[in-house]
Structure 1
Amino acid sequence: MSRNTQGLSETALLWIVAGGFFMQSLDTTIVNTALPSIAQSLHEAPLATRPIVVAYTLTMAMLTPASGWLADTFGTRRVYFSAILVFVIGSICCASAHTLPELVIARVLQGIGGSMLLPIGRLAVLRSIPGEAYVAALAFVSIAGQVGPILGPTLGGWLAQSASWHWIFLINVPIGAVGLVAVHRFLPSDAMPAGARPFDWIGCALLSVAMVAFSLAVEPPSQAHRAVLAPLLFALAVAAALAYIPYAKRRRDPLFELALFREPNFSVGLVGNLVCRVGSSAVPFLLPLLLQLELGYTPLHSGLMMLPAALAGTVAKRWIAPLIKRYGYDAFLFVNTLIVGGSIVAFALVSHGVPIVVDIVVLAVFGASNSMQFAAMNSVTLKGLSSRDASSGNSLFSMVQMLAMGLGVSIGGGLVEWFSEQWGSPVLAFRISFVSVGLITLVSALVFRRLEETASPRAPLHAR
């Protein structure tokens, strides 16, 4: 292959992976501002639509660990093509749904495809781009992941208002169609390695049961039967997680080696991420609902209100490395977590009587601190792992991130529902819920105080 042809193929590969990453990241945010419109169309209460978000994130959490095995078994090109195809089919099914259960099932299908887009894309870049160009290539791909959350809320609000909510899913079809053609034309056909190690389906099933049961257990009891069901679900989650420990000790190649937890900062970072992201993930779900349902904002207006947070997060990325270098991870994460949690609590002030400038400042502070928080948490959690454990640790870390996103929506939406039933005031319910999820985030500051001293960051920090 000539140098020009190789360069064209590598450029095409990067655009293909960036496009897949864009679709995946866009779909984690584009739905939020359209939820009231979806609820009205499907004749459901707006807060009852949270399974639309949770089903997508939980599906990705459960299936992400299988992506590497699928690529090794069937080939990167074939699996990536299938991932885009499944994602597009899932998007069409979402747009065709007539009931909430149909839409939730379609989101699960979409999540199956979405779970493979980013990890398989990264793997394709790793296998095709020379080592010295890999960091720059990955940085290019990561831009798509940053653009998705910036455009998502506004694009979702605009489509729901000017066309219909169905288009927030149909927009994936032309992007995916171009991706399928590009994969077939440009993605190199890699040889499948002989003797790929078997996938740990039992271990994956145990952890999946634990995640799903825990997600269902933590929702506040809005009905009497949930007060009985929640402890049973929590017990099932604990039992499944504990059953994984002796199972992993006996198996030669478990899904996740228990040796990962011998690295103290990995364990602390994992717990801190889970707790901190509950509040951070509740905000993009709760705020558009508050703005539209209680303050009378249009879908587009509520989407535009999320822009300050996204833009401030993008600008703040350049501050992360210097701040960590000066103060260290433990001090930086302790203080920054207080800022993130405090800004979430401050969303309780959003009302007609508060100047919009104040709302924008709170959103900008939240966006900037949250972006730095994600990058610092990601880095400190993974940087101490050996090269042998890095892939497995990153996969487990990705599962926890997706789990936390679902928990934020479940807990935040459940609290609003429960407080509304208790006091009959939806506005008050939203305010107390913001305070509650903000306090959960603040608790993670105590977790990060247990970090051991680490050197300043040696690698690029990514706010995902």
Structure 2
Amino acid sequence: MPLQLQRHGISRTGCAIISVHLHRWPPVLLAIKAFIAPVIVACAMFMESVDANVIVTALPEMARAFGRDPVTLKIAVTSYVLGLGVFIPVCGWLADRFGARSVFRTAIGIFVVGSLLCAASTSLATFTVARFIQGVGGAMMVPVGRIIIFRVVERSDYVRAMNYLSVPAMLGPAAGPLLGGFITTYLHWRLIFFINIPVGILGIWLTNKYIKNTREPHPGPLDWAGFILSAGGASLFLLGLSLTDGELVTVTTATVMTLFGAAMLGVYVLYARRVERPLLDLRFFRVPTFQASVLGGSLFRIGLGAVPFLLPLVLQEGLGMSAFKSGLITCASAFGGMFMRTLAATVLRRWGFRTVLMYNAAFSGIAIAACGAFFPGTPTWLIWVIVLLGGFFPALQFTSLNSMTYAEIESRDVGRATSLGSVVQQISLGLGVTVAGIVLSITRALHGHGALQWSDFWPAFVVVGLCSVASISVTRRLAANAGDEIVRGKREVTTKAS
């Protein structure tokens, strides 16, 4: 190295000084300098992941503060998921048009503003709007963050960088309920949203300092017509369903919203067939593995989306637990998911996608439905074990579905396929919350209960559990060896076939 520096006009003394300073740098600091962008993106994603899970534990207390029924707050959860879902397809275009750094720091800013509005909300209506704004910020943070990683990290370090991004997905669901339960029980639920402020400000500063504003020279025109039809249709349809209880708007208004949203989605289906490159290309559903992963997975994710909403309600409103004790139990689902992820590759390699997706959907449905069996006096350890299993089996299903999504997708189409799959995934999660809330309201009305009772919850858990089981009707159409190249490798698949 000194000889190379001398050739560039640096003295022997200068070379010695530089060499000494380089050798004095701790390995940890060198690693941080090499992976500063992935760390920044991972922190932003952790903030979004925690926020998505922290609110559900505080829902009963927030409902009392707003003077609303706890079930009505499903609209706040749904609006956040909608903000995530409908804006994901345009993130890639925005990053190419205005630069990944500009869009990423703007996304963090929007998320922080949404957090402040949530903390300042005095009604459910304003809180719902604030949650939607948060969702918009979160929608841009995750995919644009992945774009940044892809563009700034060397290919040889890409796997390590992506491992950093897997940490928020694992820790967020565990930290969120614990943090939300503690703050709600011992402080005040509004303080939940102030957690994002210092993290967001630090993220914006680090983004400006360490991330380059990369962009594509000619991203091309955005399919605005497709965006308006798909985003508007999905929003009206899902919000209309969430408002059918008549708490915020009349039942007639909610019905009109739902029907109009469904009509817009129908028009988009016809529109997408005539456009060469629509915003959401529905032709990917012709690919068997993609169809099973996204359409079959959407049925499964209805149950997956409902559990984080139902579980804190049954523990707090049905069994009378505090928000903190509820959070201590709810986080068991995340720990079950973490453990299963260490076994997922082995399980898939042993039995294959089709078998795992079929049988595990049944196990997941049973585990979800079992949460409806809680009654006053149920031992806490038994509740914890059931909740643990309620995270264990769904995590295997979720990992399998996500792994199989791109099994038959060409590399050039991965971006567009990701947009379609992400939108359907988020809408399915929101639909799960909506379905659970509707069933819960109907059951309580039939029982004649003014306030929620523990006996009102089991039909909702059974219904969303059956939705997970219903995904078998789609996944059973897969070929026996579907996706084997992903988990077993081409050589093993070829040997097995011969």
The interval holding the TM-score normalised by the smaller chain is over 0.9
Gaps of 5+ in 1: none
Counterpart in the other structure of 2:68: 44
Q: 8 Å contact 2:296–2:474 — kept in the other structure? A: yes
Match of 1:140 in 2: 164
Alpha-carbon spacing, 1:131–1:357, altered in 2? closer, same or farther (3 Å): same
Normalised to the residue count of structure 2, the TM-score between the two structures is 0.87
Give the deviation of 1:376 after TM superposition. 0.4
Retained in 2: the 8 A contact 1:222–1:418? Answer: no
Three-state SS of the structure 2 residue aligned to 1:51 is helix
Q: Which residue of 2 aligns with 1:33?
A: 57
Match of 1:323 in 2: 347
Counterpart pick for 1:438 among 453, 460, 465: 465
Kindly tell me: are residues 305 and 88 of structure 1, through their superposed partners in 2, closer, same or farther at Cα, counting changes over 3 Å?
Answer: same
Answer yes or no: is the 8 Å Cα contact 1:21–1:144 preserved in 2.
yes
* Alignment-mate amino acid for residue 447 of structure 1: V
Match of 2:150 among 126, 130, 149: 126
Shift of residue 354, structure 1, vs aligned partner: 2.3
TM (normalized to structure 1)? 0.93
Q: Using the alignment, how far apart are the partners of 1:366 and 1:8 within structure 2?
A: 37
The aligned runs of 1:203-282 (5 Å cut-off) are 203-216=226-239, 218=241, 222=245, 233=257, 235-282=259-306
Q: Using the alignment, how far apart are the partners of 2:105 and 2:246 within structure 1?
A: 43
**Paired positions, count:** 458
Counterparts of 1:299-448 in structure 2, within 5 Å, are 299-425=323-449, 426-448=453-475
- Distance apart, 1:278 and its partner CA: 0.9
Give the Å deviation of 1:123: 0.3
Task: Confirm whether residue 456 of structure 1 aligns to residue 484 of structure 2.
Answer: yes
Quote the residue 1:55 is aligned against: 79
Structure 2 gap segments, 5+ residues each: 1-17, 489-498
1:262 is displaced (CA, Å) by: 2.5
Choose the corresponding residue for 1:110, options 134, 159, 183.
134
The letter for the 2-side match of 1:375 is T
Shift of 1:81: 0.8
For residues 238 and 89 of structure 1, do their structure 2 counterparts lie closer, same or farther at Cα, with a shift above 3 Å needed? Answer: closer
Partner residue of 2:91 out of 67, 73, 82: 67
Preserved CA contact (<8 Å) 1:379 1:457: no
Q: Distance in 2 between matches of 1:364 and 1:228?
A: 41
**Does the CA-based 8 Å contact 1:415-1:429 persist in structure 2?**
no
Instruction: State the partner residue of 1:189.
Output: 213
Aligned Cα root-mean-square deviation (Å): 2.3
Question: Secondary structure of 2:427's partner?
Answer: helix
Partner Cα distance (1:344, 1:133) in 2: 39
Does the CA contact (< 8 Å) of 1:220 and 1:418 recur in 2? Answer: no
Identity, % of aligned positions? 32
- Using the TM superposition, give the Cα deviation of residue 206 of structure 1 relative to its aligned residue in structure 2, in angstroms: 1.4
**Any conservation in 2 of the 1:294–1:427 contact (CA below 8 Å)?**
yes
Shift, 1:37, TM fit: 1.1
Native 8 Å contact 2:349 2:487 kept in 1: no
Q: Is this contact kept in 2: 1:325–1:457, CA < 8 A?
A: no
Distance 1:197 1:173, change over 3 A: same
- What is the identity, as a one-letter code, of the residue corresponding to 2:221? P
